[in-house]
Amino acid sequence: MKVAVFSTCAYDEDFFKQFNTGHELSFFAVPLTDQTVSLTNGFEAVCIFVNDQADAVVLNKLHENGVRLIALRCAGFNNVDLIKSKELGIQVARVPAYSPEAVAEHALALILTLNRKTHKAYNRVREGNFSLERLMGFNLHGRKVAVIGTGNIGKAFCMILKGLGCIISAYDPYPDESLKSLGITYGTLKETLLDADVVSLHCPLNDDTFHLINSETLTLFSKGAMLINTSRGALIDTASVINALKSGQLGYLGMDVYEQEGKLFFRDHSEDVIQDDLITRLISFPNVLITSHQGFFTQEAMEQIATTTFKNIDDFAAGVVLTNSVIGI
């Protein structure tokens, strides 16, 4: 099949070329938007990532151009208008689980870096500064960690926390029985966030979870708590989080995703004047650590993303039911 792969970087091309099962791939560095959708003329499938747009306008043009499959090379599908794609008969497949440990371990990396300040120690020691002033952290052992969403990634994260000796409380509309049997307690969102020392988000972005962390829910956290978001940027109301950091209600913020990341992430903007005042304000805090959506970025996860994406394309080409279909058509 002819497949247009959008938002590609060199590492995407490497893995896709290595695991290609015989399709004709064209790589486009630009994201899929209403400005770039014309590139899809003559392609039967598009392969897109987290910040590509498949809204109604783009979907109509994809359909006109002959595209019949959207192969998401990620788990989340909040950027696809599923009602419209179903109406147009465009199938949507995703990679439902690819090394959930990759993202869970990145959440832990953010926690430990913010807490034990190893990034600051690294720079200090290189400059001959061996002082411990302002490097003090806290033991994670015995701390209350709230996990919001205990699907593939949240569950892997809970298993890591278990090993660290944290007290884990969780919120998920569909609690996981195996986690309950390990002593993880489920409650309402409010009960789970109440007095939490660390809050980590692992739920999808949808109408129910948009700005789940806002000026009201932030007051439930223990004073000086740490917030970690490796899920989707819009789970957090960034302006409220900035206020909570300024007041000290929030003591630390680790984020791998950002509501407006589409304009910034995955590209080098080091010579540009960044126009987004919220992210520049966040970068200015000493207790904020931002990574640019790299939670998934391990060797194992990239292999699984490539192999599952080609399985989805192969299934579509063979006319069999897509096991990883998002909309079930």
Q: How far apart are CA 258 and CA 229, in angstroms?
A: 9
Which two three-digit tokens encode residue 66?
């002959």
Q: Is 116 one of the catalytic residues?
A: no
Least distance between ligand NAD and beta carbon 175 (Å)? 9
* The Cα angle at residue 308 between residues 303 and 311, in degrees rounded to 5: 130
Least distance between ligand NAD and beta carbon 189 (Å)? 7
HSE toward the beta carbon, residue 305, CA cutoff 13 A: 25
**Catalytic residue chosen out of the listed positions 232, 259, 267, 303:** 232
- Of 67 and 226, the one with the shorter C-beta distance to ligand NAD is 226
**Catalytic residue chosen out of the listed positions 13, 261, 271, 300:** 261
Strands 167-171 and 185-186 come out as parallel
Residue nearest to ligand NAD (CB): 151
- Of 72 and 226, the one with the shorter C-beta distance to ligand NAD is 72
Whole-number Cα distances in Å, 5 to 35, 73, 306:
15, 10, 12
Least distance between ligand NAD and beta carbon 288 (Å)? 17
Q: Is 87 one of the catalytic residues?
A: no
Residue 278 near residue 239 (C-beta atoms within 8 A): yes
Least distance between ligand NAD and beta carbon 120 (Å)? 24
- Of 31 and 43, the one with the shorter C-beta distance to ligand NAD is 31
- Of 61 and 211, the one with the shorter C-beta distance to ligand NAD is 211
Complete DSSP assignment for 175-231: --HHHHTTTPEE--HHHHHTT-SEEEE-SPPSTTTTT-BSHHHHTTSPTTEEEEE-S
**Tokens 């913010």 identify what position?**
114
Residue 78 near residue 53 (C-beta atoms within 8 A): no
Least distance between ligand NAD and beta carbon 85 (Å)? 18
- Of 67 and 145, the one with the shorter C-beta distance to ligand NAD is 145
Which residues of this protein are in contact with ligand NAD, per CB under 6 A?
75-76, 97, 100, 103, 148-154, 171-174, 202-205, 208-209, 230-232, 256-257, 293, 295-296
Whole-number Cα distances in Å, 154 to 25, 79, 121, 143, 313:
34, 21, 29, 17, 28
- Give the residue numbers marked as catalytic: 232, 261
